[in-house]
Structure 1
Amino acid sequence: MPQDVDFRIPLPRRQSPDHRRAEADQLAWPRSLGLITTEAAAARHLRGAYADLAARFYPHTTGTHLDLGVDLMSWFFLFDDLFDGPRGEDPEETRRLTDAVAAALDGPLPDTAPPIAHGFADIWRRSCTGMSPSWRARSARHWRNYFTGYVDEATSRFLDTPYDCAAQYLAVRRQTIGVQPTVDMAESAGRFEVPQRVFDSAVLSAMLQIAVDVNLMFNDIASLEKEEARGERNNLVLILQREHGWPRARSIAHLRDEVHARLSQYLLLETCLPKVCDIYDLDAGEREAVERYRCDAVRTVIRGSYDWHRSSGRYDAEFAAAAGAQGYLEELGSSR
């Protein structure tokens, strides 16, 4: 994210006390599954600082619980990079890969499934351990929406019909930004769970929606130059320029204002949580889970995303040009 775009996030910066150990160990999991096999791929992966992102998203975790978050972040970006090339412009090819990965939500994968699918299967298995059937169903629903969003984006590129309306784009981008399963993981990694009846309440739903929107605005600003260089037109900054005829600076300023408005609304929603707990007649343990969801899931995914976007090397020009990356990433999406 450009350093001159300061959003002044009114939430505290946090990081897991175990972050240095996690950063040192972060390549072990992707290497063990064949998701990283060369030194060039490893160097490129480290530039992304995904362990740092996980330590900010899940500052309440350490040890194996933090490792689960680190592995999820590693997987997210390895998967997302698979669609930067021709596959991301072919909806049928995109659907084949996303279906192969999503199959892990329904049971064991065949040995012939691509490495990226086996990586997801491992994360899904570990995240479900100790979680209730309702949490599993909710998280699986969020994952299916995430995968479907990739097909929708590929269809737009294939038909050469970029989104010219921010509202239309947001409907798709809210899925592929991956915030919902990221927030779900905060519960699994932190060993707590929000009761489903409260999770579906208007207040918690609105809080999560704000986290989603703020994240995608951060991401689209940070990735603007990288995406524009490869001909991507589905970026919120570019869409606002087309939709309103605004110069780039005004489009970015508009997004900054949108973030501020959403965060003001978010802080107001937080003050409603005690009343929500009363309405749903939550017991002490359930109230604690709602408080942890506020502090250790939604707040951290907002603030953590902002801090990471400002420090990660993922959006540097050198990242996209790292040697050997694309051929290797294509391999990750191929069947064994």
Structure 2
Amino acid sequence: MPAYSYGTSPTQPQTPAVSVPPALALPVIEADFPRRLHPYWPKLQEKSRTWLREMRLMPPDKVERYADSLCYTDLVAGYYIGAPDELLSAIADLSSWFFAWDDRHDRDSVHGRAVQWRRLCRGLHETLRAPRQQLHHRDPLVAGFADCVLRLYSQLGPSWNARFARHFHSVIEAYDQEFRNRRTGTVPTVEAYIELRRLTFAHWAWIDLLEPTARYELPREVRKHPAYRRAALATQDFSAWYNDLCSLPKELAGDELHNLGISLIQHEGLSLEEAVAEVHHRVTRCISDFLAAEKDVLRLAGQLADGSVQGKKLSDAVKSCVFNMRNWFSSVYWFHHESGRYRVDSWDDRSIPPYVSDVGISETGISDVAEIELVGEE
């Protein structure tokens, strides 16, 4: 039986060929959150395919067969409207890298490759400190991350770089916590999971990237403003939990322990159907929370436009950031129904996606990095 029963969604003006299961449908997204794509998107697809091959994150035949259908560039091209082309390309490659890293985490967890996992985490932490030194690392995930980080660090300057690095160090540590949880069979409580998920989804790193997109580093008083933080948290919680909702069948099949639905089942005693309904309720509430916060952020942007040149630049940057926070909703929503990543019922083995393989990986290290065949997402 299919994981979710697919039916035609009532309103899909942007993507009429896509069907959305009733359990996953969000009519307010389809009606009130227009879908946008950066004009660089077609070129981005081509560049992303080339990058995946060059970084050896995916062998050439897998790139040709799966890269476009996974729709990773579509996802990012809908997030960061207005970004310079070279920045969007760097963000897209970071996103593809994140998918690959997530699947390596899964396979290392499944096979108990603790030594290899710890080595990878050390390499990623070191990359944030000195990316240029890791560009030729033998592990494609470390070298690919270094390439992305170096390109991102060229955008705004040392203070933004330090903040991004601080946020991403926490992401790596949270993934390590998930690794330990899986090795001990620990399903986090709902509250603990929500906090952990905000790190493993890299909430604040993705929000950081709104600033180079706007070509402006926001001052602390704006970034820490309650309205700005509420809007940012709403868009990121929506994205993380909607991902949980759509990936629940895949993660149950793969014995994953980290999913809001799984925590609800384990610790709140909900049935699968009840858990799906509860996660759906929570993602819907995120939309309402964002719409309320968005008004306050736009009001703040108006106040920042004090008649000075600098005030106008800051106001425009805040408007750009909240505009792209809004774009997360439609981009995340449609991505999950277009990407082959979530079509678990079409896989030969429901526990492992067809674009993921353990070839070339061993506990003592990577025996032949040219054979690595990992790509995927959270």
SS of 1:36's equivalent in the other structure is: coil
Indicate conservation of the 8 Å contact 1:219/1:309, yes or no: yes
Alignment-derived partner of residue 338 in structure 2: 311
Aligned residues: 333
1:100 is aligned to 2:120: no
Output aligned runs, 1:1-336, within 5 Å.
2=4, 3-4=20-21, 5-8=24-27, 9=29, 10-40=32-62, 42-61=64-83, 63-87=85-109, 89=112, 93-107=116-130, 108-110=132-134, 111-163=136-188, 165-277=189-301, 278=303, 283-296=311-324, 298-317=325-344, 318=346, 320-322=352-354, 325-327=357-359, 334=366
Indicate conservation of the 8 Å contact 1:90/1:155, yes or no: no
Judge which range, 84-93 or 54-63, deviates more. 84-93
SS of 1:84's equivalent in the other structure is: helix
What is the TM-score of this pair, normalised by structure 1?
A: 0.89
Q: Report sequence identity in percent.
A: 26
> Which whole-Å CA distance do the structure 2 matches of 1:328 and 1:16 have between them?
36
Indicate conservation of the 8 Å contact 1:54/1:70, yes or no: yes
Once the two structures are TM-superposed, the CA of residue 150 in structure 1 deviates from its matched residue by 0.6
Larger relative contact order (CA 8 Å, sep ≥ 6) = 1
SS of 1:57's equivalent in the other structure is: coil
Indicate conservation of the 8 Å contact 2:75/2:335, yes or no: yes
Indicate conservation of the 8 Å contact 1:81/1:329, yes or no: no
What is the TM-score of this pair, normalised by structure 2?
A: 0.80
Q: 1:302 to 1:286 in 2, by over 3 A?
A: same
Q: 1:86 to 1:235 in 2, by over 3 A?
A: same
> Which whole-Å CA distance do the structure 2 matches of 1:147 and 1:40 have between them?
27
Once the two structures are TM-superposed, the CA of residue 267 in structure 1 deviates from its matched residue by 1.2
Moved over 6 A (4+): 279-282
AA paired with 1:283?
A: G
Indicate conservation of the 8 Å contact 1:35/1:116, yes or no: yes
> Which whole-Å CA distance do the structure 2 matches of 1:268 and 1:323 have between them?
40
SS of 1:26's equivalent in the other structure is: helix
Q: 1:86 to 1:267 in 2, by over 3 A?
A: same
Once the two structures are TM-superposed, the CA of residue 274 in structure 1 deviates from its matched residue by 4.5
> Which whole-Å CA distance do the structure 2 matches of 1:32 and 1:268 have between them?
44
SS of 1:17's equivalent in the other structure is: coil
AA paired with 2:50?
A: A
> Which whole-Å CA distance do the structure 2 matches of 1:263 and 1:91 have between them?
39
Q: 1:82 to 1:147 in 2, by over 3 A?
A: same
> Which whole-Å CA distance do the structure 2 matches of 1:91 and 1:237 have between them?
27
Give a deviation string over 1:11-34, Cα, whole Å, max 9, x none. Answer: 221111232222233211122222
Indicate conservation of the 8 Å contact 1:198/1:280, yes or no: no
Indicate conservation of the 8 Å contact 2:84/2:213, yes or no: no
AA paired with 2:139?
A: P
Once the two structures are TM-superposed, the CA of residue 233 in structure 1 deviates from its matched residue by 2.5
Indicate conservation of the 8 Å contact 1:13/1:304, yes or no: yes
Indicate conservation of the 8 Å contact 1:146/1:178, yes or no: yes
Q: 1:241 to 1:176 in 2, by over 3 A?
A: same
Indicate conservation of the 8 Å contact 1:44/1:322, yes or no: no
Indicate conservation of the 8 Å contact 2:174/2:200, yes or no: yes
Q: Which runs of 5+ in 2 are unaligned?
A: 5-19, 370-378
AA paired with 2:46?
A: A
SS of 1:314's equivalent in the other structure is: helix
Q: 1:269 to 1:183 in 2, by over 3 A?
A: same
> Which whole-Å CA distance do the structure 2 matches of 1:271 and 1:126 have between them?
33
Q: 1:173 to 1:92 in 2, by over 3 A?
A: farther
SS of 1:16's equivalent in the other structure is: coil
Once the two structures are TM-superposed, the CA of residue 153 in structure 1 deviates from its matched residue by 0.3
Once the two structures are TM-superposed, the CA of residue 90 in structure 1 deviates from its matched residue by 5.4
SS of 2:342's equivalent in the other structure is: coil
Give a deviation string over 1:146-189, Cα, whole Å, max 9, x none. Answer: 111111101111122212x2111111111111232223233324
AA paired with 2:144?
A: G
AA paired with 1:35?
A: L
> Which whole-Å CA distance do the structure 2 matches of 1:268 and 1:328 have between them?
50
